[in-house]
Chains A and B, each alone.
Chain A
Amino acid sequence: MIGRHRHLIGLEDLSREEILQILTLSTSMKEVLRRPLKKVPTLRGKAIVNLFFEASTRTRTSFETAAKILSADAVNWTAATSSVSKGETLLDTARNIEAMRPDVLVIRHPAGGAPGFIAARVACAVVSAGDGAHEHPSQGLLDLYTLAEHLTRVGGAPPQAPPDFDTLAGKTVTIVGDVTHSRVARSNLHGLTKLGAKVRVCGPPTMIPPGIEALGASVHYHLRPAVEGADAVMMLRIQHERIGDPLLPGTREYSKVWGLNERKVKEWLKPSCAILHPGPINRGVELSPEVADGPQSVILEQVENGVAVRMAILYLVSGGAPDQSTEGAARA
């Protein structure tokens, strides 16, 4: 259980305390992840199914790695979405998998609301691994974790100090790119505002959805004022299919106007500003290679923290209590 929730569908549903419960536990999980022998028996005997209706190597691998470190049995099920009379329906697929008695179903689906649809109809716990343009809660959580870690570090804490999640309060995070189609942006927006951060969104007006202000974001069309003074900038991936959608005339102009390169980073960003990207990066479009690999980039930390955060999520929804998570670890 995450607080009072059996499933993890989105950060919009979680309270600040419930988010902190996952993040705090992630610190212990990260410690396990960094051990030379990274295996604890915590979830031994638990079965986890990664049900992916959309290609995603990194999120699936991250969940799979998290499950295996905790000694759960993880299997992957790749499926195609289908409407009426074109193959198995979502509900039938879910019921078939449920009949195999998994403890956790991790679902990635191109339709917003699909994980919630399944959660309402199966007995096992459901974790969303991203649904349409709705939410990507584990990504939002790993971003919060990475940001807190970064802010704790630049705040002058000793190198081995655990992240202090209170450091997010009052900080400014700018999300740049195709916000309309981004589940990552929405999960971050919910998570960041719940932890007290201010969020700016920036991108071409064709990629800023109506009413995003109501979710707590301020809207910018120009990059410079959007990133100036920010404590972190999160660059979203520009999907190539959006070009000529007709949301964008092309990647060339996008990269010129809304992309980050070395010059803009140097002139516009605070030296302590972290640069995040949910991956996979379009090098040369939203980020120049020098920036992606530069000193302010925390992109690979995001990936590592992703495993720790997903370990925490799987542990909690499998029925574990937060204070027992390291018991198995201690014995191991």
Chain B
Amino acid sequence: MSDETIFIEGGRVIDPAAGTDGLRTVVIRAGRIAEVSERVERPREARAIDARGRWVVPGFIDLHAHLREPGQEYKETVETGARAALAGGFTAVCAMPNTLPPNDNASVTELVLARAAEAGLARVYPVGCISKGLKGEELAEYGELKEAGCVALSDDGRPVASPALMRRALEYARAFDLPVSVHEEDLSLVGKGVMHEGETSTRLGLLGAPAAAEEVMVLRDIALAELTGGRLHIAHLSCQGSVRAVREAKRRGLAVTAEATPHHLALRDEDVARSGYDSSFKMNPPLRSAADVLAVREGLADGTIDCIATDHAPHSLVEKEVEFDLAANGVVGLETAFAVCLALVREGALSERRLVEALTAAPARTFGLPGGALAKDAPADVAILDPAHEWRCDPAGFFTKGRNSPWKGASLRGRCTHAFVGGRLVHELRGALR
């Protein structure tokens, strides 16, 4: 907490929660948002940040990141993950529980929170396991997890194969009002598939996993959400059938939400061929067909898909610099998400306002998290973005330990220049000061 008064001046404030979009000054005082208005007099002693030509937005919230701690600190730590988050404009990240050991009890949750507090960077919200040890056999103790600080439940990285366990998870989570975030994939349909099944997998001679492997599980879980009244959240939704299913579920008023990743919005299966079997294009769910990408974009634009989440999944070269068949699934995404999604705006797939909403108010609402808006007296979690900043994506310069980015070497446009958490300037893009 800082007692400093900061005036962010001259920027375009986009705060979809408040319906704001225009030139405003954001005043931060004692770590909180004091004022967002068109004309304010700045006292001589206050610090000013020139945001002309930039966007001033609520700090982004990522519902889906793998920070790898405890257990796989060689891939990422809470600290490096939180730094990467800030560099991408995310002032809060949800840490997925597939760590070693998995976050299925309060001691792991507490460790993650302690590491986040030590780092003092982005806010970290732990996600607890749906099942003990991610084994899909017994429910984890949701009451204990929530009390320790978990904001949602997930067995991410693997599906909840048993419909009976999934039913009980959705039911039991109701007692603690926790959303259940699901990784949808029928493992028997996926088989040994390593990419999306279609023309490209045929051409590359890689075994495919059909989109239906995801869709059947989404349909199953929507039926179970209806049965139980539980809060179902579809993680990394990637195909047309899933969009259709969620749209229909929402129309019927079910408590179903969904997220899509920047890579599923921007890339498709053909990019695996174009990259020459580059394992930085291997993730789960896999990059889908052009028709799927279009449907996911439409779903995001019309609100069927609530938010953008990165599924930031850092791996070391040990897991990635191998044959495509053997490479680990996942790509890093925190530091490129904004630029990648801003390109969708330029392509006309998404409005600027919806883009910001999908990264701020929508994720806050989906998991019931604080933030996501520039509300008066709320902790000042703010990002300043330069939508015109052009940069070459060089993973060697990332804050994350992961180098597995499908955008390595690409020219990107749009970057976070400043990030504030609780009014503290915790990230500043080098060379962006003026």
Contacts and interface: CB of A to CB of B under 8 A. Distances in A.
Contacts of A120: 276
B276 A84 contact: no
Contact of A113 (B208, B318, B319, B323): B323
Interface string B174-211: 00000000000000000000000111111111111000
Interface residues of A, number: 31
A211 B206 contact: no
Interface centre among A110, A117, A131, A215 (most CB of B within 10 A): A117
Interface in A301-326: none
Contacts of A211: 198-203
A243 interface: no
Contacts of B322: 83-84, 89-91
B324 interface: yes
A65 B405 CA distance: 43
Contacts of A180: 202
A325 to B, nearest CB: 30
B35 to A, nearest CB: 53
A318 B198 CA distance: 36
Interface stretch (A132-140, A155-163, A292-300): A132-140
B206 A116 contact: no
Contacts of B199: 210-211, 214
Given A120-B276, A214-B199, A91 B204 contact: no
A175 interface: no
Contacts of A210: 197-199, 201-202, 208
A209 interface: yes
Contacts of A183: 205
Contact of A186 (B205, B318, B319, B325): B205
B390 interface: no
B321 interface: yes
A242 to B, nearest CB: 12
A273 interface: no
B356 to A, nearest CB: 37
Interface in A18-54: none
B325 A215 contact: no
B211 to A, nearest CB: 11
A31 B322 CA distance: 41
B398 interface: no
A128 B102 CA distance: 42
Contact of B204 (A81, A85, A89, A113): A113
Interface string A99-134: 000000000011111101100100000000001111
A215 B326 CA distance: 26
A214 B269 CA distance: 15
Contacts of B201: 209-211
B205 A112 contact: yes
Nearest to A215: B203
A81 B326 CA distance: 9
A112 B273 CA distance: 11
A215 B205 CA distance: 12
Which secondary structure dominates where chain B touches chain A? loop
B323 A133 contact: no
Nearest to A208: B202
B200 A112 contact: no
Contacts of B321: 89, 91
Interface in A193-221: 209-212, 214-215
A116 B324 CA distance: 11
Contact of B318 (A84, A114, A116): A84
B432 to A, nearest CB: 35
A133 B318 contact: no
A32 to B, nearest CB: 33
Interface string B249-289: 00000000000000000000000000011000000000000
A164 interface: no
A85 B324 CA distance: 16
Contacts of B323: 81, 90, 109, 111, 113-114, 117
Contacts of B207: 133
B203 A116 contact: no
A133 B276 contact: no
Nearest to B205: A134
Nearest to A190: B203
A183 B318 CA distance: 28
B305 to A, nearest CB: 26
A12 interface: yes
A27 to B, nearest CB: 30
A89 B205 CA distance: 21
B205 A133 contact: yes
Nearest to B200: A211
Interface centre among B206, B318, B326 (most CB of A within 10 A): B326
A117 to B, nearest CB: 6
B156 to A, nearest CB: 20
Interface in B213-260: none
A134 B206 CA distance: 7
Contacts of B319: 84
Interface in B300-359: 318-319, 321-326, 328
A243 to B, nearest CB: 15
A113 B203 contact: no
A134 B199 CA distance: 13
Contacts of A112: 204-206, 277, 324-325
26 contacts: A12-B203, A81-B323, A84-B322, A84-B326, A84-B328, A89-B318, A111-B323, A111-B325, A112-B324, A112-B325, A113-B206, A113-B277, A113-B323, A113-B324, A114-B323, A117-B277, A117-B323, A131-B205, A132-B206, A132-B325, A134-B205, A180-B202, A186-B205, A210-B202, A210-B208, A211-B202
Given A83-B326, A111-B323, A210-B208, 14 more contacts: A83-B322, A89-B321, A90-B322, A91-B322, A111-B326, A113-B276, A117-B323, A132-B206, A134-B205, A134-B206, A186-B203, A186-B205, A211-B201, A215-B202
Would you list the 3 A-B pairs with minimal beta carbon distance, nearest first? A211-B199, A134-B205, A113-B277
Interface of B: 197-208, 276-277, 318-319, 321-326, 328
